A and B are shown apart, each in its own frame.
Chain A
Amino acid sequence: MLGHAGVVVYTDEVDLVHIGRGLMRFCAVESCGKCFPCRLGSVRGADVFDKIIDDQGDQDDLELLAELCETMQFGSLCALGGGIPTPIHNLLTTFIGAFSRYIPDAKIQNFYRITQTSLQKTRLRMTDASSITSLKTKSETAPSKMLPLHPSMKGASPRKEFCVFVDGKEIRLSEDSMILDATKGCDPHPGQKRLKQSSRTDFIGVFRRT
């Protein structure tokens, strides 16, 4: 796959390393610049390709490129940064011979990273079903509790308590306390009295405005 939902045909004489460099450059130009892995990763990826094309690359650069692919693939916010590394990944696995022109004996020794994580995930899905079911029962045994309504909140939907597990630790948070926590420390008009929390919709309005 090259690009997003596109097919590009090249002759077999084309230098795939230059294609890879062009892809990274394309991503650097097209990136909106919001998330770091795409904005910086594409520029640094093009730099690594430049170094390889200048005959100054070595094995470490290939591994760096593999790691960069992983960072962009899993770290990017949208599908631009997430999709650009796919052809580079293929270049590093299937067409690794294309690098031999610049790096003698080009091969990736430590290319366990991307493949291993995806393997681990499938393995977890395939074999370790018991752990998944145990997780399920855990969440079933800890059902969320409805909190009683405050008198001022007539007509509003009942407040809900959330139960999540952070690193295996059970955390119970009521919805309102979480919104309070999120607004803590952000006083748009310091010194002035804060808006009274007369109803939940009002308060959510304050949250939105800040």
Chain B
Amino acid sequence: MCHPLVAITPATKAADAFVPTLCNSDALEPYGACRMCMVDIGGRKPVAACHAPIQDGMHIKTSTPLVDRLRKNTLELVISDHPLDCLGCPANQRCELQTVAAKLGFREVRHPVTTTREGWQDSSHPFF
């Protein structure tokens, strides 16, 4: 039996398991964008704990080789698109991204960053 309202996250919180998130806020509905809270539930693919419905008798693994790799690589993608100006940032030392990067042992961005966010701005219409 699965519950339509409750996600897996309360269970991982109750178990004190480390599941990083970047898009989760208590004041918002679960959105499932950052894909950092991926957990293995024994299915074909890992699922995002914040909005996958919980199921009775479910076996949740918060750390498998695949899930750990997915988290690290997704974090690398996020940081490759992030202005690395922590010293001039008001959120410095109180930053969720910094915390998650430190906890996951993030080292370096391997991606060649040639396309920046500015390059993708759609200027095809004056309204944009």
| Residue positions of B touching A, CB distance < 8 A | 1, 3, 5-15, 17, 26-29, 31-35, 38, 44-46, 48, 54-63, 65-66, 69-70, 73-74, 77-78, 80-81, 110-115, 120
User: With contacts A75-B35, A167-B61, A181-B14 known, what are 17 further pairs, Cβ within 8 A?
Assistant: A40-B77, A41-B77, A43-B115, A44-B77, A44-B80, A47-B112, A47-B113, A67-B69, A71-B69, A77-B48, A113-B69, A117-B65, A160-B1, A162-B11, A164-B59, A207-B5, A210-B29
Q: Judge whether B3 and A175 touch: CB under 8 Å.
A: yes
Q: A77 — which chain B residues lie within 8 A by C-beta?
A: 32-33, 35, 48
CB distance from B126 to the nearest CB of A (A): 21
Q: B80 — which chain A residues lie within 8 A by C-beta?
A: 40, 44
Q: How many residues of A contact B (CB 8 A)?
A: 54
Q: Judge whether A166 and B17 touch: CB under 8 Å.
A: yes
Stretch at the interface among A4-12, A101-109, A182-190: A182-190
Q: A179 — which chain B residues lie within 8 A by C-beta?
A: 5-6
What are 23 A-to-B residue pairs whose CB atoms are below 8 Å?
A36-B34, A36-B35, A36-B77, A44-B80, A44-B113, A47-B115, A51-B112, A64-B110, A70-B73, A74-B70, A75-B38, A75-B70, A75-B74, A139-B57, A162-B6, A164-B11, A166-B12, A167-B62, A171-B11, A173-B10, A178-B3, A182-B6, A184-B26
Q: Judge whether B74 and A166 touch: CB under 8 Å.
A: no
Contacts A40-B81, A77-B32; is A167 near B60 (CB within 8 Å)? yes
